[in-house]
Structure 1
Amino acid sequence: MPTSTTIPIDFVRELLTAVPDPARHAAYLASAGIAPALMDESSARVTTNQFSDLYRLLARELDDELPGMFSRPVRGGALKLLCLSMLEAPNLRVALYRLSCFFRLLIDDMRIQITVSHDVVCVALVPAQGAEPARVLAQEMMLKVVHGVTSWLAGKQLPLERADFCYPPPQHASAYAYLFPGPVFFDQARTALYFRIGNLDVPTRRNKRTLTEFLRRAPADWLFVSSAERVISHRVREYLENHLEGATPIDEVADVLHCSIRTLSRRLSVEGTSYQAIKDELRRDVAIQLLTKTATPVAVIGARIGFDDPTTFYRAFKKWTGSTPGAYRPT
Protein backbone atom coordinates (compact mmCIF):
# COMPACT_ATOMS: atom_id res chain seq x y z
CA MET A 1 0.00 0.00 0.00
CA PRO A 2 1.44 3.41 -0.87
CA THR A 3 2.27 5.02 2.46
CA SER A 4 1.04 8.41 1.26
CA THR A 5 -2.33 7.28 -0.09
CA THR A 6 -5.40 8.99 1.35
CA ILE A 7 -9.07 8.06 1.17
CA PRO A 8 -12.02 10.17 -0.02
CA ILE A 9 -14.30 11.50 2.71
CA ASP A 10 -17.16 9.66 0.94
CA PHE A 11 -15.92 6.43 2.51
CA VAL A 12 -16.16 7.96 5.99
CA ARG A 13 -19.67 9.30 5.38
CA GLU A 14 -20.84 5.93 4.07
CA LEU A 15 -19.28 4.10 6.99
CA LEU A 16 -20.99 6.36 9.52
CA THR A 17 -24.43 5.53 8.10
CA ALA A 18 -24.08 2.36 10.19
CA VAL A 19 -24.64 4.62 13.22
CA PRO A 20 -28.19 6.01 12.94
CA ASP A 21 -27.74 8.56 15.74
CA PRO A 22 -25.83 11.55 14.24
CA ALA A 23 -25.09 12.83 17.75
CA ARG A 24 -22.61 9.97 18.18
CA HIS A 25 -20.71 10.69 14.96
CA ALA A 26 -18.48 13.41 16.43
CA ALA A 27 -17.17 11.09 19.14
CA TYR A 28 -16.32 8.38 16.61
CA LEU A 29 -14.58 10.88 14.35
CA ALA A 30 -12.59 12.26 17.29
CA SER A 31 -11.48 8.76 18.27
CA ALA A 32 -10.17 8.23 14.74
CA GLY A 33 -8.49 11.65 14.66
CA ILE A 34 -10.75 12.97 11.90
CA ALA A 35 -11.75 16.65 12.07
CA PRO A 36 -15.58 16.88 11.98
CA ALA A 37 -15.39 19.96 9.74
CA LEU A 38 -14.06 17.76 6.93
CA MET A 39 -17.43 16.02 6.68
CA ASP A 40 -18.86 19.14 5.04
CA GLU A 41 -16.24 19.26 2.27
CA SER A 42 -16.92 17.06 -0.76
CA SER A 43 -13.21 16.98 -1.68
CA ALA A 44 -11.87 16.21 1.81
CA ARG A 45 -9.59 13.23 2.44
CA VAL A 46 -8.50 11.11 5.41
CA THR A 47 -5.45 8.92 5.85
CA THR A 48 -5.66 5.15 5.49
CA ASN A 49 -4.90 4.77 9.21
CA GLN A 50 -7.69 7.19 10.17
CA PHE A 51 -10.22 5.28 8.08
CA SER A 52 -8.99 1.93 9.41
CA ASP A 53 -9.21 3.17 13.01
CA LEU A 54 -12.80 4.33 12.43
CA TYR A 55 -13.68 1.05 10.71
CA ARG A 56 -12.30 -1.08 13.55
CA LEU A 57 -14.02 1.12 16.16
CA LEU A 58 -17.42 0.72 14.51
CA ALA A 59 -16.86 -3.00 13.96
CA ARG A 60 -16.27 -3.42 17.71
CA GLU A 61 -19.07 -1.10 18.83
CA LEU A 62 -21.65 -2.67 16.50
CA ASP A 63 -20.27 -6.22 16.66
CA ASP A 64 -20.32 -6.20 12.87
CA GLU A 65 -17.16 -6.74 10.82
CA LEU A 66 -18.86 -5.19 7.79
CA PRO A 67 -20.41 -2.30 9.77
CA GLY A 68 -24.02 -1.71 8.75
CA MET A 69 -23.48 -2.82 5.16
CA PHE A 70 -25.96 -5.70 5.11
CA SER A 71 -29.33 -6.57 6.61
CA ARG A 72 -27.79 -8.61 9.40
CA PRO A 73 -24.42 -8.07 11.06
CA VAL A 74 -21.32 -10.14 10.37
CA ARG A 75 -20.37 -10.86 13.96
CA GLY A 76 -16.93 -10.37 15.45
CA GLY A 77 -14.51 -13.20 14.70
CA ALA A 78 -16.05 -14.02 11.33
CA LEU A 79 -13.07 -12.75 9.32
CA LYS A 80 -10.69 -14.82 11.46
CA LEU A 81 -12.74 -17.98 10.91
CA LEU A 82 -12.90 -17.23 7.18
CA CYS A 83 -9.13 -16.88 6.95
CA LEU A 84 -8.55 -20.06 8.99
CA SER A 85 -10.79 -22.03 6.62
CA MET A 86 -8.94 -20.63 3.59
CA LEU A 87 -5.47 -21.32 5.01
CA GLU A 88 -5.97 -25.07 4.63
CA ALA A 89 -7.04 -24.86 0.98
CA PRO A 90 -4.67 -26.59 -1.48
CA ASN A 91 -4.67 -23.55 -3.81
CA LEU A 92 -6.13 -20.06 -4.16
CA ARG A 93 -9.03 -21.17 -6.37
CA VAL A 94 -10.26 -23.57 -3.69
CA ALA A 95 -9.71 -20.85 -1.08
CA LEU A 96 -11.96 -18.49 -3.09
CA TYR A 97 -14.64 -21.17 -3.28
CA ARG A 98 -14.52 -21.53 0.50
CA LEU A 99 -14.86 -17.76 0.83
CA SER A 100 -18.02 -17.83 -1.32
CA CYS A 101 -19.52 -20.62 0.79
CA PHE A 102 -18.63 -18.83 4.03
CA PHE A 103 -20.38 -15.60 3.10
CA ARG A 104 -23.40 -17.52 1.83
CA LEU A 105 -23.97 -18.54 5.46
CA LEU A 106 -23.58 -14.98 6.78
CA ILE A 107 -25.12 -12.61 4.23
CA ASP A 108 -28.72 -12.80 3.03
CA ASP A 109 -28.60 -9.82 0.66
CA MET A 110 -26.34 -11.37 -1.97
CA ARG A 111 -24.07 -14.27 -2.80
CA ILE A 112 -20.60 -14.56 -4.28
CA GLN A 113 -20.73 -16.47 -7.55
CA ILE A 114 -17.57 -17.97 -9.05
CA THR A 115 -17.47 -18.98 -12.71
CA VAL A 116 -14.66 -19.99 -15.07
CA SER A 117 -14.55 -19.12 -18.76
CA HIS A 118 -11.52 -20.18 -20.76
CA ASP A 119 -8.56 -19.02 -18.62
CA VAL A 120 -10.37 -16.37 -16.56
CA VAL A 121 -12.08 -16.76 -13.16
CA CYS A 122 -14.96 -14.37 -12.48
CA VAL A 123 -15.93 -13.59 -8.87
CA ALA A 124 -19.28 -11.77 -9.00
CA LEU A 125 -21.59 -10.23 -6.40
CA VAL A 126 -25.10 -11.47 -7.19
CA PRO A 127 -28.04 -9.79 -5.36
CA ALA A 128 -30.57 -12.05 -3.66
CA GLN A 129 -33.64 -12.80 -5.74
CA GLY A 130 -35.78 -9.67 -6.00
CA ALA A 131 -33.25 -7.54 -4.12
CA GLU A 132 -31.53 -4.40 -5.32
CA PRO A 133 -27.72 -4.37 -5.49
CA ALA A 134 -26.04 -3.49 -2.19
CA ARG A 135 -24.98 0.13 -1.67
CA VAL A 136 -21.70 1.23 -3.20
CA LEU A 137 -19.53 0.98 -0.07
CA ALA A 138 -20.75 -2.56 0.62
CA GLN A 139 -19.86 -3.67 -2.90
CA GLU A 140 -16.46 -1.96 -2.74
CA MET A 141 -15.61 -3.51 0.62
CA MET A 142 -16.79 -7.00 -0.35
CA LEU A 143 -14.58 -6.96 -3.43
CA LYS A 144 -11.70 -5.69 -1.30
CA VAL A 145 -12.23 -8.58 1.12
CA VAL A 146 -12.11 -10.98 -1.83
CA HIS A 147 -9.03 -9.40 -3.35
CA GLY A 148 -7.29 -8.53 -0.08
CA VAL A 149 -7.62 -11.90 1.63
CA THR A 150 -6.72 -13.82 -1.53
CA SER A 151 -3.69 -11.58 -2.13
CA TRP A 152 -2.60 -12.10 1.48
CA LEU A 153 -2.83 -15.87 1.03
CA ALA A 154 -0.76 -15.59 -2.15
CA GLY A 155 1.93 -13.55 -0.41
CA LYS A 156 1.63 -10.80 -3.04
CA GLN A 157 -0.97 -8.49 -4.56
CA LEU A 158 -2.82 -10.45 -7.23
CA PRO A 159 -3.26 -8.62 -10.55
CA LEU A 160 -6.77 -8.29 -11.94
CA GLU A 161 -7.79 -8.83 -15.54
CA ARG A 162 -10.55 -6.30 -14.93
CA ALA A 163 -13.02 -5.03 -12.33
CA ASP A 164 -16.68 -4.36 -13.21
CA PHE A 165 -19.23 -2.33 -11.26
CA CYS A 166 -22.97 -2.24 -11.78
CA TYR A 167 -23.24 1.46 -10.84
CA PRO A 168 -22.11 4.71 -12.51
CA PRO A 169 -18.69 6.16 -11.63
CA PRO A 170 -18.91 7.52 -8.05
CA GLN A 171 -17.46 10.89 -7.10
CA HIS A 172 -14.35 9.12 -5.79
CA ALA A 173 -13.84 7.06 -8.97
CA SER A 174 -10.22 8.22 -9.24
CA ALA A 175 -9.44 6.18 -6.10
CA TYR A 176 -10.26 2.96 -7.95
CA ALA A 177 -6.81 3.03 -9.56
CA TYR A 178 -5.48 2.18 -6.09
CA LEU A 179 -8.40 0.09 -4.90
CA PHE A 180 -8.37 -2.31 -7.86
CA PRO A 181 -5.11 -3.02 -9.76
CA GLY A 182 -6.47 -3.48 -13.28
CA PRO A 183 -8.86 -2.00 -15.87
CA VAL A 184 -12.04 -0.68 -14.21
CA PHE A 185 -15.46 -0.47 -15.91
CA PHE A 186 -18.66 1.12 -14.56
CA ASP A 187 -22.34 0.73 -15.58
CA GLN A 188 -21.82 -3.00 -16.12
CA ALA A 189 -24.38 -5.79 -15.75
CA ARG A 190 -22.85 -6.92 -12.45
CA THR A 191 -20.11 -6.15 -9.96
CA ALA A 192 -17.23 -8.58 -10.34
CA LEU A 193 -13.49 -9.19 -10.26
CA TYR A 194 -11.70 -11.19 -12.95
CA PHE A 195 -8.50 -13.17 -12.31
CA ARG A 196 -6.24 -15.05 -14.71
CA ILE A 197 -6.72 -18.70 -13.76
CA GLY A 198 -2.99 -19.34 -13.61
CA ASN A 199 -2.70 -16.81 -10.77
CA LEU A 200 -5.17 -18.82 -8.68
CA ASP A 201 -3.94 -22.36 -9.36
CA VAL A 202 -1.06 -21.87 -6.94
CA PRO A 203 -0.74 -22.99 -3.30
CA THR A 204 -1.51 -20.70 -0.41
CA ARG A 205 1.62 -19.23 1.18
CA ARG A 206 0.46 -18.14 4.64
CA ASN A 207 0.05 -19.85 7.98
CA LYS A 208 -1.62 -19.23 11.34
CA ARG A 209 1.43 -17.40 12.71
CA THR A 210 1.01 -14.56 10.21
CA LEU A 211 -2.77 -14.32 10.55
CA THR A 212 -2.83 -12.32 13.80
CA GLU A 213 -0.95 -9.33 12.38
CA PHE A 214 -3.03 -9.36 9.20
CA LEU A 215 -6.26 -9.24 11.21
CA ARG A 216 -4.90 -6.64 13.64
CA ARG A 217 -4.30 -4.18 10.80
CA ALA A 218 -7.49 -4.92 8.85
CA PRO A 219 -8.73 -3.25 6.76
CA ALA A 220 -5.52 -1.25 6.17
CA ASP A 221 -3.51 -4.09 4.66
CA TRP A 222 -6.09 -5.00 2.06
CA LEU A 223 -7.77 -1.69 1.31
CA PHE A 224 -5.28 -0.22 -1.17
CA VAL A 225 -2.89 -2.12 -3.39
CA SER A 226 0.87 -1.74 -3.32
CA SER A 227 2.47 0.77 -5.61
CA ALA A 228 4.78 -2.09 -6.59
CA GLU A 229 2.00 -3.35 -8.83
CA ARG A 230 3.15 -2.56 -12.31
CA VAL A 231 0.16 -0.52 -13.39
CA ILE A 232 1.69 2.48 -15.18
CA SER A 233 -0.05 5.09 -13.02
CA HIS A 234 1.36 3.39 -9.89
CA ARG A 235 4.86 3.44 -11.38
CA VAL A 236 4.58 7.14 -12.17
CA ARG A 237 3.41 7.89 -8.63
CA GLU A 238 6.18 5.76 -7.16
CA TYR A 239 8.84 7.73 -9.04
CA LEU A 240 7.31 11.11 -8.23
CA GLU A 241 7.11 10.24 -4.54
CA ASN A 242 10.91 10.19 -4.44
CA HIS A 243 11.25 13.47 -6.39
CA LEU A 244 8.57 15.72 -4.93
CA GLU A 245 10.74 18.73 -4.15
CA GLY A 246 11.80 19.21 -7.77
CA ALA A 247 9.81 20.18 -10.84
CA THR A 248 10.00 16.63 -12.31
CA PRO A 249 8.65 17.23 -15.83
CA ILE A 250 6.84 14.46 -17.67
CA ASP A 251 9.72 13.87 -20.09
CA GLU A 252 11.96 12.91 -17.14
CA VAL A 253 9.46 10.28 -15.97
CA ALA A 254 8.91 9.01 -19.53
CA ASP A 255 12.67 8.51 -19.89
CA VAL A 256 12.82 6.55 -16.62
CA LEU A 257 9.95 4.34 -17.78
CA HIS A 258 11.59 3.89 -21.20
CA CYS A 259 8.77 5.31 -23.28
CA SER A 260 7.89 8.51 -25.13
CA ILE A 261 5.83 11.31 -23.60
CA ARG A 262 3.04 10.49 -26.05
CA THR A 263 3.05 6.79 -25.11
CA LEU A 264 3.08 7.58 -21.39
CA SER A 265 0.20 10.04 -21.76
CA ARG A 266 -1.81 7.55 -23.78
CA ARG A 267 -1.28 4.72 -21.28
CA LEU A 268 -2.27 6.97 -18.39
CA SER A 269 -5.39 8.03 -20.30
CA VAL A 270 -6.36 4.38 -20.71
CA GLU A 271 -6.12 4.04 -16.93
CA GLY A 272 -8.39 7.06 -16.53
CA THR A 273 -5.81 9.56 -15.31
CA SER A 274 -3.08 11.96 -16.43
CA TYR A 275 0.44 12.93 -15.39
CA GLN A 276 -0.70 16.18 -13.78
CA ALA A 277 -3.57 14.46 -11.95
CA ILE A 278 -1.19 11.88 -10.47
CA LYS A 279 1.23 14.62 -9.42
CA ASP A 280 -1.50 16.71 -7.78
CA GLU A 281 -3.03 13.69 -6.00
CA LEU A 282 0.37 12.67 -4.66
CA ARG A 283 1.16 16.19 -3.42
CA ARG A 284 -2.25 16.38 -1.77
CA ASP A 285 -1.86 12.99 -0.06
CA VAL A 286 1.68 13.65 1.20
CA ALA A 287 0.59 17.04 2.54
CA ILE A 288 -2.35 15.49 4.39
CA GLN A 289 -0.10 12.82 5.90
CA LEU A 290 2.36 15.45 7.16
CA LEU A 291 -0.40 17.72 8.46
CA THR A 292 -2.12 14.95 10.43
CA LYS A 293 0.96 13.10 11.71
CA THR A 294 3.58 15.80 12.31
CA ALA A 295 3.98 19.34 13.60
CA THR A 296 5.95 20.39 10.51
CA PRO A 297 5.16 24.03 9.64
CA VAL A 298 2.79 24.45 6.74
CA ALA A 299 5.30 26.42 4.70
CA VAL A 300 7.87 23.65 5.11
CA ILE A 301 5.32 21.05 4.00
CA GLY A 302 4.60 23.12 0.91
CA ALA A 303 8.31 23.28 0.09
CA ARG A 304 8.68 19.51 0.56
CA ILE A 305 6.08 18.85 -2.11
CA GLY A 306 7.45 21.34 -4.59
CA PHE A 307 5.90 24.73 -3.72
CA ASP A 308 8.40 27.56 -3.22
CA ASP A 309 5.63 30.03 -2.37
CA PRO A 310 3.46 29.21 0.70
CA THR A 311 0.55 31.20 -0.76
CA THR A 312 0.57 29.06 -3.89
CA PHE A 313 0.55 25.95 -1.72
CA TYR A 314 -2.42 27.24 0.30
CA ARG A 315 -4.39 27.92 -2.89
CA ALA A 316 -3.55 24.52 -4.36
CA PHE A 317 -4.45 22.68 -1.14
CA LYS A 318 -7.78 24.51 -0.91
CA LYS A 319 -8.50 23.54 -4.54
CA TRP A 320 -7.62 19.89 -3.88
CA THR A 321 -9.53 19.41 -0.61
CA GLY A 322 -11.95 22.31 -0.18
CA SER A 323 -10.23 23.23 3.11
CA THR A 324 -7.15 25.08 4.28
CA PRO A 325 -4.15 23.07 5.58
CA GLY A 326 -5.02 24.15 9.11
CA ALA A 327 -8.27 22.17 9.00
CA TYR A 328 -6.22 18.96 8.94
CA ARG A 329 -4.17 19.77 12.03
CA PRO A 330 -5.13 17.68 15.11
CA THR A 331 -7.02 19.76 17.66
Structure 2
Amino acid sequence: MLKPVVTVPVFAVRGLLDGARSKGLATESWLDGVLAQARIAESLLHLEQSRVTMEQYIALFSAVKNSLDDECLGHLHGRPLRCGSFALMARSTLGAKTLAAALQRLSASFTLLQDDLSLVPVSDGLLKGAALDVRRAAGEHSDFLQGLLLRVFWRLLVWLHGGRLVPRGLDFAFETP
Protein backbone atom coordinates (compact mmCIF):
# COMPACT_ATOMS: atom_id res chain seq x y z
CA MET A 1 0.00 0.00 0.00
CA LEU A 2 1.31 3.42 -0.95
CA LYS A 3 1.74 6.01 1.75
CA PRO A 4 0.43 9.49 0.96
CA VAL A 5 3.15 12.05 0.33
CA VAL A 6 3.26 14.68 3.04
CA THR A 7 3.95 18.15 1.65
CA VAL A 8 4.67 21.58 3.06
CA PRO A 9 3.48 24.90 1.56
CA VAL A 10 6.04 27.26 0.07
CA PHE A 11 5.36 29.96 2.69
CA ALA A 12 6.89 27.61 5.28
CA VAL A 13 9.90 27.10 3.02
CA ARG A 14 10.32 30.87 2.79
CA GLY A 15 10.07 31.03 6.59
CA LEU A 16 13.15 28.82 6.87
CA LEU A 17 15.05 31.29 4.69
CA ASP A 18 13.71 34.59 6.05
CA GLY A 19 16.00 34.79 9.08
CA ALA A 20 19.11 34.63 6.89
CA ARG A 21 17.54 37.01 4.39
CA SER A 22 16.71 39.60 7.05
CA LYS A 23 20.35 39.59 8.20
CA GLY A 24 21.75 39.84 4.68
CA LEU A 25 23.27 36.35 4.92
CA ALA A 26 21.22 34.81 2.11
CA THR A 27 23.59 35.51 -0.76
CA GLU A 28 22.81 34.01 -4.13
CA SER A 29 25.49 31.33 -3.69
CA TRP A 30 24.26 30.51 -0.15
CA LEU A 31 20.67 30.20 -1.37
CA ASP A 32 21.74 28.03 -4.31
CA GLY A 33 23.69 25.81 -1.91
CA VAL A 34 20.98 25.23 0.69
CA LEU A 35 18.28 24.73 -1.95
CA ALA A 36 20.52 22.26 -3.82
CA GLN A 37 21.09 20.26 -0.63
CA ALA A 38 17.32 19.99 -0.24
CA ARG A 39 16.74 19.38 -3.96
CA ILE A 40 14.36 22.33 -4.18
CA ALA A 41 14.19 24.41 -7.36
CA GLU A 42 14.44 28.14 -6.63
CA SER A 43 11.55 28.77 -9.02
CA LEU A 44 9.20 27.08 -6.52
CA LEU A 45 9.81 29.92 -4.06
CA HIS A 46 7.99 32.30 -6.41
CA LEU A 47 4.89 30.15 -6.96
CA GLU A 48 2.33 30.78 -4.20
CA GLN A 49 0.62 27.40 -4.53
CA SER A 50 3.80 25.31 -4.71
CA ARG A 51 4.67 22.71 -2.11
CA VAL A 52 7.72 20.62 -1.23
CA THR A 53 7.89 17.18 0.32
CA MET A 54 8.44 16.83 4.04
CA GLU A 55 11.82 15.25 3.25
CA GLN A 56 12.84 18.33 1.25
CA TYR A 57 11.66 20.63 4.03
CA ILE A 58 13.65 18.71 6.65
CA ALA A 59 16.72 18.73 4.40
CA LEU A 60 16.39 22.49 3.90
CA PHE A 61 15.98 23.05 7.65
CA SER A 62 19.19 21.07 8.26
CA ALA A 63 21.08 22.87 5.50
CA VAL A 64 20.09 26.33 6.78
CA LYS A 65 20.75 25.40 10.43
CA ASN A 66 24.16 23.92 9.68
CA SER A 67 25.28 26.68 7.32
CA LEU A 68 24.39 29.39 9.85
CA ASP A 69 25.32 27.34 12.95
CA ASP A 70 22.00 28.53 14.35
CA GLU A 71 19.10 26.31 15.39
CA CYS A 72 16.79 29.34 15.15
CA LEU A 73 17.82 29.83 11.52
CA GLY A 74 18.97 33.44 11.83
CA HIS A 75 15.67 34.67 13.28
CA LEU A 76 17.16 35.87 16.57
CA HIS A 77 18.70 39.36 16.68
CA GLY A 78 21.12 38.71 19.52
CA ARG A 79 23.13 35.55 19.97
CA PRO A 80 22.34 32.70 17.62
CA LEU A 81 21.23 29.44 19.17
CA ARG A 82 24.30 27.42 18.17
CA CYS A 83 23.96 23.86 16.88
CA GLY A 84 23.60 21.54 19.84
CA SER A 85 21.69 24.07 21.97
CA PHE A 86 18.36 22.26 21.76
CA ALA A 87 20.05 18.97 22.68
CA LEU A 88 21.64 20.70 25.67
CA MET A 89 18.27 22.12 26.73
CA ALA A 90 16.66 18.69 26.35
CA ARG A 91 19.37 17.12 28.52
CA SER A 92 18.74 19.75 31.19
CA THR A 93 15.21 18.35 31.61
CA LEU A 94 16.24 14.76 32.20
CA GLY A 95 15.68 13.53 35.73
CA ALA A 96 13.00 16.11 36.51
CA LYS A 97 10.35 14.47 38.69
CA THR A 98 7.42 16.31 37.07
CA LEU A 99 6.65 17.86 33.72
CA ALA A 100 6.37 21.25 35.47
CA ALA A 101 9.90 20.80 36.86
CA ALA A 102 11.15 19.82 33.39
CA LEU A 103 9.53 22.94 31.94
CA GLN A 104 11.24 25.05 34.61
CA ARG A 105 14.62 23.54 33.68
CA LEU A 106 13.94 24.02 29.97
CA SER A 107 13.04 27.65 30.61
CA ALA A 108 16.19 28.28 32.63
CA SER A 109 18.50 26.70 30.06
CA PHE A 110 16.85 28.53 27.14
CA THR A 111 17.27 31.84 28.98
CA LEU A 112 20.97 31.11 29.55
CA LEU A 113 21.60 30.45 25.87
CA GLN A 114 20.11 33.53 24.26
CA ASP A 115 18.79 37.02 24.88
CA ASP A 116 15.89 37.81 22.52
CA LEU A 117 13.18 35.62 24.04
CA SER A 118 12.55 33.83 27.27
CA LEU A 119 10.40 30.80 27.90
CA VAL A 120 8.27 31.56 30.95
CA PRO A 121 6.40 28.81 32.82
CA VAL A 122 2.82 29.90 33.59
CA SER A 123 -0.03 28.34 35.52
CA ASP A 124 -3.74 28.87 35.94
CA GLY A 125 -5.04 26.65 38.69
CA LEU A 126 -4.30 23.08 37.64
CA LEU A 127 -3.34 24.10 34.10
CA LYS A 128 0.37 24.52 33.43
CA GLY A 129 1.96 26.01 30.37
CA ALA A 130 4.57 28.30 28.97
CA ALA A 131 4.70 31.70 27.34
CA LEU A 132 7.31 33.24 25.10
CA ASP A 133 8.38 36.62 26.41
CA VAL A 134 9.84 38.71 23.59
CA ARG A 135 12.59 40.88 25.05
CA ARG A 136 13.74 42.40 21.78
CA ALA A 137 11.67 43.18 18.74
CA ALA A 138 11.78 39.88 16.91
CA GLY A 139 11.34 41.55 13.54
CA GLU A 140 9.16 40.99 10.55
CA HIS A 141 9.26 37.19 10.75
CA SER A 142 8.72 36.70 14.49
CA ASP A 143 5.60 34.61 13.90
CA PHE A 144 7.72 31.98 12.14
CA LEU A 145 10.25 31.94 14.99
CA GLN A 146 7.55 31.70 17.64
CA GLY A 147 5.81 28.89 15.74
CA LEU A 148 9.12 27.05 15.37
CA LEU A 149 9.88 27.31 19.08
CA LEU A 150 6.35 26.26 19.98
CA ARG A 151 6.71 23.09 17.89
CA VAL A 152 10.17 22.24 19.23
CA PHE A 153 9.34 22.83 22.89
CA TRP A 154 5.95 21.11 22.59
CA ARG A 155 7.48 17.99 21.02
CA LEU A 156 10.08 17.84 23.77
CA LEU A 157 7.42 18.11 26.49
CA VAL A 158 5.28 15.44 24.80
CA TRP A 159 8.30 13.13 24.65
CA LEU A 160 9.13 13.78 28.32
CA HIS A 161 5.52 13.04 29.24
CA GLY A 162 5.66 9.68 27.50
CA GLY A 163 4.22 10.46 24.11
CA ARG A 164 0.73 11.68 24.94
CA LEU A 165 -0.08 15.21 26.03
CA VAL A 166 -3.28 17.01 25.06
CA PRO A 167 -3.14 20.81 24.83
CA ARG A 168 -6.02 22.70 26.48
CA GLY A 169 -5.35 25.79 24.41
CA LEU A 170 -2.84 27.82 22.45
CA ASP A 171 -2.74 31.61 22.35
CA PHE A 172 -0.71 33.55 19.82
CA ALA A 173 0.45 37.16 19.68
CA PHE A 174 -0.19 37.05 15.93
CA GLU A 175 -2.75 35.59 13.53
CA THR A 176 -3.26 31.90 14.31
CA PRO A 177 -1.22 29.82 11.85
Show CA shifts across 1:140-165 (max 9, x none): 01111110111122231421111111
Q: Which runs of 4+ in 1 moved over 4 A?
A: none
Distance 2:131 2:86 in 1: 19
Query: Which residue type is aligned with residue 11 of structure 1?
Result: A
Residues 110 and 3 of structure 1: CA distance in aligned 2, closer, same or farther (over 3 Å): farther
What residue in structure 1 maps to residue 131 of structure 2?
Answer: 124
Question: Residues of 1 paired with 2:4 and 2:157: CA distance?
Answer: 21
**1:47 corresponds to which of 53, 62, 67:** 53
- List aligned pairs for 1:105-144, cutoff 5 A: 105-128=112-135, 131-133=136-138, 135-144=142-151
- Name the aligned partner's letter for residue 43 of structure 2: A
In 1, Cα distance between the equivalents of 2:171 and 2:15? 21
Alignment correspondent of 1:152: 159
Name the structure 2 match of 1:35. 41
Q: Following TM superposition, by how much is the alpha carbon of 1:38 offset from its aligned partner in structure 2, in angstroms? A: 0.9
Identity within the alignment, %: 32
Q: Residues 213-232 of structure 1: CA distance to partner in whole angstroms, max 9, x if unpaired?
A: xxxxxxxxxxxxxxxxxxxx
Equivalents in 2 of 1:112, 1:25: separation in Å? 31
Aligned residues: CA RMSD: 1.9
- Residue in 2 that maps onto 1:207: none
Deviation at 1:133, TM superposition (A): 4.7
Unaligned runs of 5+ in 1: 174-331
Unaligned runs of 5+ in 2: none
Inter-partner Cα distance in structure 2 for 1:54 and 1:106: 24
**Alpha carbons 1:87, 1:95 under 8 Å: kept:** yes
Is the 2:107–2:120 contact (alpha carbons within 8 Å) kept by the matching residues of 1?
yes
Partner of 1:9: 10
Distance in 2 between residues matched to 1:133 and 1:60, nearest whole Å = 21
Quote the Cα distance in structure 1 between the aligned partners of 2:160 and 2:6: 23
Equivalent runs, 1:1-331 vs 2, <5 Å? 4-17=5-18, 18=20, 19-71=25-77, 72-128=79-135, 131-133=136-138, 135-169=142-176, 173=177
TM-score (norm 1): 0.47
Q: Which has the higher contact order (CA 8 A, sep 6+)?
A: 1
- The number of residues matched between the two structures is 167
